[in-house]
């Protein structure tokens, strides 16, 4: 199992988890849900306590990843398998992303 912390404008919003069978979940942090400033990270992830699940990496998170030549360069420089989207997400979306979402590895 691998886990990532998801931030919106540098505020912790929730956890994205990849399970051994390559399924995924995202759940909002309870404190974030109780804050007045809490906003959904995406229309596809409305604010709720229940966990979101998927057989594949959620499109919202997949769309944070580079494509084409930039993907090739990142994978070569960072020694990432081109098919390991979760590792790419952890290693390339910590800062300087397009939009307000950043992702950091969660040390379990």
pTM of the full structure:
0.89
CB-based burial label for 108 (10 Å; 0-12, 13-18, 19+)? exposed
Number of domains in the chain: 1
Residue 95 confidence (pLDDT): 85
**For residue 75, pLDDT beyond 90:** no
Alpha-helix residue ranges (DSSP H) falling in the chain: 30-34, 59-62, 68-78, 85-92
The alpha carbon of 86 is separated from its chain's Cα centroid by a whole number of angstroms, namely: 8
- Cβ–Cβ < 8 Å for 15, 27: yes
**Distance set, CA 1 to CA 17, 34, 69, 70 (Å):** 7, 27, 29, 27
**Domain span at residue 21?**
2-105
CA-atom Rg of the chain in angstroms: 14
Q: How confident is the model at residue 37 (pLDDT cuts 50, 70, 90)?
A: confident
């Amino acid at each position: 199992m691998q886990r990532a912390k998801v931030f919106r404008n540098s505020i912790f919003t929730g956890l994205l988890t990849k399970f051994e069978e390559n399924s995924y979940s995202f759940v909002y942090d309870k404190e974030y849900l109780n804050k007045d400033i809490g906003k959904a990270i995406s229309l596809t992830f409305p604010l709720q306590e229940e966990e979101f699940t998927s057989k594949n990496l959620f499109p919202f998170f997949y769309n944070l990843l580079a494509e084409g030549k930039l993907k090739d360069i990142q994978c070569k420089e960072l020694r990432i398998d081109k098919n390991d989207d979760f590792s790419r997400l952890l290693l390339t979306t910590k800062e300087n992303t397009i939009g307000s979402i950043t992702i950091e590895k969660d040390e379990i």
